[in-house]
Amino acid sequence: MNAQKLSKRLETVADFVPQNAVVADIGSDHAYLPCYLVHQGIVEKAIAGEVVNGPYQSACNEVKHEQLQNNIEVRLADGMEAVEPEDGVTAVTIAGMGGPLIATILNKDLARLQTVQRLILQPNIHAYAIRLWAQTNGWAIIAEEILCEDEKIYEVLVLERGQQKLSETELLLGPHLMAEKNEVFVNKWQGEIKQWEHILASIEKIEQTDAIIEKRKELNGKLALVRSVM
Ligand code: SAM
């Protein structure tokens, strides 16, 4: 992967960035995504935000290497602190982290989302946390993608402002993904079912403490939800 050729995962994120958006890529690491967006003529101006010094340096180096210093500003900052109101950011991308961390980053600085019209989020795990954050904070999921790359399954969620009430099944599986129910989706949830059944079989044999009973209830609940869709 490089600034000209992204991974399938990041290319899917890039596909949802609107033409001429002012984009902030939070947790940018190598800054491949903002560099790619400028090279493709999708955006002219971008911010690459990074909280850790090593990845921040590598983002600075990449932007310099691609000669995009006039287009991309790399900022060492925690989450949305990379974004100032005068930047006029209209789209935010956050990719390659867990869903709960992405939700925490968004929730910490709601005021910094004021100018933002679209969020493109790619959680590696627990997309549930993002869907829950969205419906609690006035964002609607307008599109979702699920893809497999190097034997790993990734979800991409696209949010715009709006009210949306999701059922527990939709929070877990994704309203668009469960409607489409493509092959990757079916593989993902068949794998989860297998894993949950395995855990249930092992914890049924041990002492039934309150915690174990609670865990069994949780897993049986999730199994029922997912089986109802498959
Ligand atoms: N977004 C890139 C991608 O999808 O390939 C990099 C993903 S990398 C696994 C996650 C990056 O997010 C790391 O470089 C990490 O330092 C950064 N990160 C984690 N928490 C952050 C935060 N609160 N603010 C900014 N960056 C953060």
Lookup result for tokens 């209830």 = 217
Residue with CA nearest ligand 1 atom 16: 52
Measured in Å, residue 194 CA sits from the centre of ligand 1 at: 31
- The predicted structure's pLDDT at residue 221: 95
- Render pLDDT for 105-157 as a digit per residue (tens, 0 to 9): 999 989 999 999 999 999 999 999 999 999 999 999 999 999 999 999 999 99
Averaged pLDDT for residues 170-183: 97
- Specify the residue with its C-alpha closest to ligand 1, atom 14: 29
**Which SS3 state, helix, strand or coil, does residue 52 take?**
coil
Pick from 6, 53, 92, 97 the residue to mutate for probing ligand 1's pocket: most ligand atoms within 8 Å of its CB. Answer: 97
Choice between 162 and 5, residue whose per-residue pLDDT is larger: 162
Please state, in angstroms and rounded to a whole number, the distance separating the CA atoms of residues 228 and 76: 45
> CB under 6 Å to ligand 1: residues?
10, 26-29, 49-52, 55, 78-79, 95-97, 105
Structure token digits, residue 213: 């009973």
CB atoms within 10 A of CB 223: 15
Q: Which ranges of 16-122 would DSSP assign to H, the alpha helix? A: 32-39, 53-65, 99-108
Q: How far is CA 64 from CA 1, 48, 105, in A?
A: 17, 13, 27
- For residue 190 the two structure tokens come to 């068949």
Residue closest by Cα to atom 24 of ligand 1: 79
Domain coordinates of the chain in residue numbers?
Answer: 8-165, 186-229
pLDDT band per the 50, 70, 90 thresholds, residue 2:
confident
**Residue whose CA is at the smallest distance from ligand 1 atom 15:** 27
pTM: 0.96
Q: Residue 26: pLDDT above 90? A: yes
Considering only CA atoms, which residue is closest to atom 11 of ligand 1?
Answer: 27
* Percentage of the chain lying above the pLDDT 70 cut: 100
What pLDDT, on the 0 to 100 scale, is given for residue 174? Answer: 98
The yes or no reply on domain 8-165 and CATH 3.40.50.150 is yes
Interstrand relation of 118-123 and 152-161 (parallel, antiparallel or unpaired): antiparallel
Helices assigned H by DSSP within the chain: 8-15, 32-39, 53-65, 99-108, 128-136, 168-173, 175-180, 183-203, 210-229
Give the per-residue pLDDT at 109.
87
Half-sphere exposure of 24 (CA within 13 A, CB side): 28
What average pLDDT does range 56-72 have in this prediction? 97
Q: What is the pLDDT of residues 184-206, one digit of tens each?
A: 999 999 999 999 999 999 998 88
CA of 105 to the centre of ligand 1 (A): 11
- Neighbouring C-beta atoms of residue 76, cutoff 10 Å: 16
- Confidence grade of residue 16 (pLDDT, cut at 50, 70, 90): very high
Alpha-carbon gap, residue 59 to 50, rounded angstroms: 8
- For the segment 27-43, what is each residue's pLDDT rounded down to a tens digit? 999 999 999 999 999 99
Average pLDDT, the chain: 96
Q: Is the model's pLDDT at 50 over the cut of 90?
A: yes
pLDDT at 207 exceeding the cut of 90: no
- The structure tokens 């609107």 sit at 18
The reported pLDDT for the residue numbered 57 is 98
